[in-house]
Chains A and B, each alone.
Chain A
Amino acid sequence: MTLTSHDPIPAANLDGAVEDYSRDKVYVLTALFLAAVTVLEILTYAYPDFPIWSGNLLVPVLMIMMAVKFFTVLYIFMHLKFDKPLLTWVFYSGLVLAALVYLAMLSAFRIWWPESHS
């Protein structure tokens, strides 16, 4: 079937969301969840001695919370969860390439060894 430029196209052919999903309520709940994680992040600064993130645990805990927020926005707000998998692959190709290149660069500068900072 050929469609003219002003005709809606069947859901099966949509380039956007191909899965049914509820809308505004999910978005508001997602925003509340993100706000709660942000509050937790700020608490790590306000109460640095709290047992869950004290000492060496602080950076891993912050990275986990950051990753949770990052992928929540990516999958819910940016619709990757509902879109065609190709878009996920396209984005991950850039994300993974960037992560590998810059982790290699940080390693080359020996950033993981504390004595190298002095």
Chain B
Amino acid sequence: MAEALTARESVKAADAHAPTAHIEHDTNTGISNTKLGMWLFLASECLLFGGLITTYLLYKRPLEGPTPEEIFDIPFTSTSSFVLLMSSLTMVLAVSAIERGDHERLRIWIGATALLGATFMAGQIYEFTVFVREGLGFTTSRFSSAFYTLTGFHGVHVTVGIIMLMSLVLLSLRGKLPEHRSETVEIVGLYWHFVDVVWIFIFAVVYLVP
């Protein structure tokens, strides 16, 4: 008990702003296995999305069917991109809230992040629907297959992120997300930011580069 109190005081003295996350057991790196695992996973995801983006670049010029210039609605996609970008802000504010022990704001910010993510997904589904109506099906051309695969994979990642965010809200409501488990929120946040980072790349390379 005395040791625990000493540890608690030393945290406050050393860094009042540092998250009071904890590791379940000692590690050689001083980094929790969960967090290290998430970063390794994100590193591997670079290879996945790199492959999809490269394939898109190779097949960007369709031999048949509509071209990217004919069907892309840049103002609409720009709005979607902005929505996803702002969801990164709400996510990081959620991490900040739980590190302060503010559970109400945690739920508000996570809920806002999930809502923004859902708005982005609604936009993507609408975009896909419009494209199909304009004659760009999945098998219309090599461009359409590469485009739908790339943006579809990203959409699946966003959807998985929304599910994880909703799970965090449920855990918080049930009181199973105390401050000392703030790392759980941080790790979901890492995943969410990565999804945003991938979209930053896709938006520039797929939509804006002529």
In the complex, which of the residues A4, A92, A111 contacts B4, with contact meaning CB atoms closer than 8 Å? A4
B contact face: mostly helix, strand, loop, or mixed? helix
Min CB distance B108 to A, Å, is: 13
Contact B7 A102 (CB under 8 A): no
- Using A16-B19, A62-B208, A101-B47 as known contacts, say yes or no to A31 and B58 having CB atoms under 8 A apart: no
Contact B36 A87 (CB under 8 A): yes
- Using A98-B47, A101-B47 as known contacts, say yes or no to A8 and B58 having CB atoms under 8 A apart: no
Min CB distance B139 to A, Å, is: 22
B124 interface hit (Cβ, 8 Å):
no
B42 interface hit (Cβ, 8 Å):
yes
Contact A10 B81 (CB under 8 A): no
- Using A31-B88, A70-B197 as known contacts, say yes or no to A63 and B7 having CB atoms under 8 A apart: no
Min CB distance A12 to B, Å, is: 6
Contact A69 B200 (CB under 8 A): yes
- B4 cross-chain contacts in A, Cβ below 8 A: 3-4, 7
The B-contacting residues of A in range 73-87, CB under 8 angstroms, are 73-74, 77-79, 84, 86-87
In the complex, which of the residues B32, B36, B46 contacts A98, with contact meaning CB atoms closer than 8 Å? B46
A35 to B20, CA, bound (A): 31
- A109 cross-chain contacts in B, Cβ below 8 A: 58
Contact B29 A86 (CB under 8 A): yes
- A14 cross-chain contacts in B, Cβ below 8 A: 15, 18-19, 21
- B190 cross-chain contacts in A, Cβ below 8 A: 78
A87 to B32, CA, bound (A): 11
In the complex, which of the residues A10, A34, A62 contacts B7, with contact meaning CB atoms closer than 8 Å? A10
Instruction: Kindly state the interface size class of chain B when it binds its partner.
Output: 35 or more
- B196 cross-chain contacts in A, Cβ below 8 A: 73, 77
B205 interface hit (Cβ, 8 Å):
yes
Chain A: CB-nearest residue to B58: A109
A57 interface hit (Cβ, 8 Å):
no
Contact A78 B194 (CB under 8 A): yes
27 A-B contact pairs sorted by A residue (CB < 8 Å): A1-B3, A5-B22, A9-B11, A12-B14, A14-B15, A15-B27, A15-B31, A15-B35, A16-B19, A17-B17, A20-B18, A23-B17, A34-B85, A35-B85, A44-B208, A66-B204, A69-B85, A74-B193, A77-B89, A77-B196, A87-B36, A93-B43, A94-B40, A98-B49, A105-B54, A106-B57, A106-B58
